[in-house]
Amino acid sequence: MSSKLIAPSVLAADFANLQRDVEMVNASDADWFHIDIMDGVFVPNISFGMPVLQAISKHAKKTIDVHLMIVDPDRYIKTFAELGSDILTVHYEACTHLHRTLQAIKAEGMKAGVALNPHTNVSLLEDTINDIDLVCIMSVNPGFGGQSFIENTYNKVKQLKELITRKGASTQIEIDGGVTNKNAKQLVDAGADVLVAGSYVFKSKTQEETIKDLKAIANS
């Protein structure tokens, strides 16, 4: 079984010390940088945009996993490729022509991800799963860090894993929101491949240790 990955969410970093926090992730056991882009329309919050991602990219030495919580994401696919995104995830709920969007992301040389809000059923991906590199299951309602984990997520992960296996797809399953040492093992057992963790990592006094412990739990 391939190893389970940890993706610290930079949304919870100290923005006044962004380079320091990026270097902490570089030096840690973490695998990816998770970057939350919010537009204040798709979600009721605005995070940060292109100039900040550009600054992060300059220092980041690991995979850049961009989670777009924006309406009409097709407008910015090329821009995010140019900014160094390795994986570009769009929301199912924000895409009228999801299949076309996925092709456009791949045409720019990135891996294509689809995020599902807590109310969105995984069966809606029946016809696209073989075109999706990563499904991000939202385990909180998107828009804010530090929210509590929605327990129904375990069922969704199992359903998605079943769909991926049945279709012979190689899609990775990512969990985003409220991830801690308390739910990591159960998520991985249900089929998760990548755990995003924001507050749990950055609010810790021993951030590198916390990442190391989370990764050990996920791979135990």
- From the CB of residue 163, how many other CB atoms can be counted at a distance below 10 Å? 17
Is residue 198 a known part of a binding site?
yes
User: What residue type is assigned to position 94 of the chain?
Assistant: A
Out of 4, 67, 91, 161, which residue is the one contacting ligand DX5 (CB under 6 A)? Answer: 67
Torsions phi, psi of 85, nearest 5? -70, 135
DSSP letters of 99-140? Answer: HHHHHHHHHTT-EEEEEE-TTS-GGGGTTTGGG-SEEEEESS
Report which of 5, 25, 2 is spatially closest to residue 13, judged by C-alpha positions.
Answer: 25
Report which of 216, 152, 140 is spatially closest to residue 190, judged by C-alpha positions.
Answer: 152
Nearest residue (CB) to Zn ion, 178 versus 191: 178
Is residue 97 a known part of a binding site?
no
Nearest approach, Cβ of residue 37 and Zn ion (Å): 9
Which stretch, 6-14, 93-101, 119-127, 187-195, contacts ligand DX5 (CB under 6 A)? 6-14
Nearest residue (CB) to ligand DX5, 48 versus 144: 144
Nearest residue (CB) to ligand DX5, 105 versus 197: 197
Active site residue 176: yes
Beta strands 87-91 and 134-138 are: unpaired
Active site residue 131: no
Which stretch, 25-33, 55-63, 71-79, 194-202, contacts ligand DX5 (CB under 6 A)? 194-202
Torsions phi, psi of 204, nearest 5? -75, 145
Q: Which does 197 bind (CB under 5 to 8 A by kind): Zn ion, ligand DX5, none?
A: ligand DX5
- Contact residues for Zn ion, defined by CB under 5 A: 36, 67, 176
Which residues are identified as catalytic? 36, 176
Binding region for a divalent metal cation: 34, 36, 67, 176
